[in-house]
Amino acid sequence: MSEPLSKFVEGFSKNQLVAYFLLLWAATFFFSSISGFSYIAAGYSSGLDLVVDVLWNLTDLGITAILGMLGLKILNNQE
């Protein structure tokens, strides 16, 4: 590993790295659900596809909340 990168990584504890990973993962689910809702709003879905897409995007938002809360809890326990 290069010297600047190893110094950067050494500044974090394992729990902090896990917390930041969870927060970034939550962000991907959040933006996935936002793009899914915009796809629905554009009218590309109909019938059963619409129901499945809405449930899928709501699930993404729920996962976002769970991962975000878990990541923040881990970060707050560090301080």
List the chain pLDDT tens, one digit each, 79 residues: 567 777 777 777 888 889 999 999 999 999 999 998 988 888 877 888 889 999 999 999 999 999 999 999 999 986 5
Domain-by-domain residue ranges, the chain? 14-78
pLDDT of amino acid 57: 94
Instruction: Mark residue 46 as left, alpha or beta (left: phi above 0; alpha: psi -120 to 50; beta: remaining).
Output: beta
> Under a CB-based contact definition with an 8 Å cutoff, are residues 60 and 32 in contact?
yes
pLDDT of amino acid 78: 67
* Most distant CA pair in the chain, distance: 56
pLDDT of amino acid 79: 58
